[in-house]
Structure 1
Amino acid sequence: MRRRRFLAAGLGVAACVAGCGDRSAVRVAGAYEIHAAGEQWVRVAEAFTRTARGAGYPVGGAGPVSTLTLIGLPALAAAELNAAESPLHGVTPLARLAGEVEVVLVAQNSRFTAFDAFGARLRADPAGTPLAGGPQGTPDHLLFGLIAQGLGADTRQVNYTGYPGADEAAGALLAGRADAATGPLAGWRPYIDRGWVRVLAVSCADRFPGLDAPSLLESGVRVDFANWCAAVGPGDMPAAARDAAVGMCEEVAGSPGWRQACREGGWTPIPLGGDRFAAWAASETRRTRAVLRDLGLLGSGKGTT
């Protein structure tokens, strides 16, 4: 497959100014500014700001400022596709905050009554199993690539058509132009609730509350996936400021207030902070690069670090 060029406008990491001091000093004398790198995470940044304020942290106030930026999987994938600098390069990883759970769906009258039947078909004939979702190279496409990998299918033969949004992908699915689709659960809720589509599996590790569908792991596919977003600081962030920011993110992301904000926003809290998040982010970068390459969207010359 010829490599496609993808634009990543607006996905760059904003310039940051670091604060200093231990956590208690930041609570009293410092302040945080939280920005979103990309329109998709603006509502998450606003909700996190409100929740942090409710927890007693000075966010958006006066005083020395540590600017935190929310980035996510789409920016990581776009950078890989454009041979651009990763949004995780030159920054200080702080914490993963939340993500969008994705679903694998079929039309209500589909011959695939369960994921096992769909998986068997995709494994046997990936080129003859048309799939739909968001634009190529986005998390929806990545998820089908990961599913194909997990099934042992020929990933380069995956027959995927990208659409601008869930409405267009749903149109293809309901018209029979696609055998299955994937996308964020929140975006597909209207079609699920109306009974027009059925969920074969969810991308998170466990079953999703209120949804009668197995996880991919439960279905025998070793994939735990979300369209995640995370907070990073500037690359030159002093250690004390980094530790204070990690502590703030971990406290807020683990709070009942954040869980409530995520329920209202249609996100899933997936907190992971500090060194554990940094290690996970490196692993996620490798996984994203590998699946893009297997889908034929990256040349073999891209680095492996």
Structure 2
Amino acid sequence: MAGLRQKMFRTAVAAVALILGTLPVRAADMPEIRFLIPGGKGGGWDTTAHAVGEVLTATGLATVVAYENLVGGGGDRALLDLIHHPQRHRNTLMVQSTPIIVRSFRGDYRNSWRDTRPVAILISAYQAIAVPANSPYRDINELMQAIRLSPGDVPVTGGSTYLSLDHLTLGLVAQAAGIHLNALRYSPADGGKAALDRLLSGKVKAVVSGVGELLPAAQAGKIRILGVTSADPLPGLDVPTFRSQGLDVVFSNWRGFFAASATDEKDIQAFEAMFTELAATTAWANQRSKYRWEPLLLVGDPLKRFLIEQERSLFRIMTMLQSSPERFGRMASRSHARHWR
């Protein structure tokens, strides 16, 4: 009898193992993860990491154990820490966006996204320009006219440094209005919250940031958004596009996640599966809607091809906005010619 019970037990265990072996591996089976955030609290990177983490936790797709804000150098410090100290970044996902390409082009560091493991791009976020609620500038053309007449009296802030995403957005809008980038008085802050605080304290006249980062202050009646970089009006948001105001600017900032270069391939695949499953949930759709983010899910080879094309298009934009395109072109060619081969 005892032998029969043992045989039945072994058979049951084998059956369970067979069933479990045929089930898809879920992201919930992954180790606990950490988010590395290259900017301060309240900025675009910080908002994205927490928004993703909230849904991962709520849906049971993963357990987020830490959010580390490693501030400095417009995102450089966190990127270089991930590259040069991979042993302390096991199970770490660094949130990043367009600046990882822009700052590499500028020569701020010799590394690039190729020195990490790209995991997934998850969203596309539009940019916006806003002023205090009591500002005399009622639309983007009034602001641009004030800058044209006396640029030194109309400082504009953004949550990142010179020739970064916010500065480039301002440059594209200004160029569409017939103003050169060099005429702008741009005052960089370390993160979106710091930039917004600078605006509300009266130190600057306008702010450039992501729509999602500006939305809470706009809904609270503290600021007025003058325009967004989308081609068409964003659903549920009573804000004009720059294009509808006669400035032909359409531009978006992708955001995604990168791991240390030493990350095992099986862990990369697990991360990709996690983000793919996340993107299909209703909870994530609701989170995107809250911040006015557009879906842009890319993993694997399509992700790498996208990043290479981003290098080409951003190089064109930065060259166009530079006072000395030839000088910038030589710098970028020295740093990145190998990337396009």
What is the identity, as a one-letter code, of the residue corresponding to 2:283?
G
Aligned-pair Cα RMSD in Å: 4.1
Following the alignment from structure 1 to structure 2, what is the Cα–Cα distance between the partners of residues 126 and 283?
37
For residues 10-159 of structure 1, the aligned pairs below 5 Å read 24-25=24-25, 27=27, 30-31=30-31, 33-40=33-40, 41-42=45-46, 44-55=48-59, 57-59=61-63, 67-81=92-106, 83-98=108-123, 101-107=126-132, 112-118=137-143, 127=151, 130-134=154-158, 136-137=161-162, 138-151=164-177, 153-159=179-185
Q: 1:218-262 deviations in whole A, cap 9, x for unaligned? A: 444232223x43112344666665455333312213422123344
Query: Secondary structure of 2:52's partner?
Result: helix
TM-score under structure 1 length normalisation: 0.67
TM-score under structure 2 length normalisation: 0.61
Following the alignment from structure 1 to structure 2, what is the Cα–Cα distance between the partners of residues 191 and 269?
20
Identity %: 18
Matched with 1:161 is 187
For residues 176-187 of structure 1, the aligned pairs below 5 Å read 178=205, 180-187=206-213
Matched with 1:225 is 252
| Count, aligned residues | 274
Task: Answer whether contact 2:124 2:252 (CA < 8 A) is retained.
Answer: no
Following the alignment from structure 2 to structure 1, what is the Cα–Cα distance between the partners of residues 222 and 46?
30
Query: Secondary structure of 1:282's partner?
Result: helix
Task: Answer whether contact 2:37 2:49 (CA < 8 A) is retained.
Answer: no
Task: Answer whether contact 1:92 1:232 (CA < 8 A) is retained.
Answer: yes
Structure 1 residue 132, shift from structure 2 partner: 0.9
| Compared CA separation, residues 258 and 29, structure 1 to 2 (3 A) | closer
User: 1 or 2 for the larger relative contact order (CA 8 Å, sep ≥6)?
Assistant: 1
| Compared CA separation, residues 221 and 250, structure 1 to 2 (3 A) | farther
Structure 1 residue 197, shift from structure 2 partner: 4.2
Query: Secondary structure of 1:136's partner?
Result: coil
Task: Answer whether contact 2:131 2:199 (CA < 8 A) is retained.
Answer: no
Matched with 1:170 is 200
* Higher-helix-fraction structure: 2
- Tell me, which stretches of 5 or more residues in structure 1 are unaligned? 1-21
What is the identity, as a one-letter code, of the residue corresponding to 1:256?
T
Structure with larger Rg: 2
| Compared CA separation, residues 197 and 90, structure 1 to 2 (3 A) | closer
Structure 1 residue 89, shift from structure 2 partner: 2.1
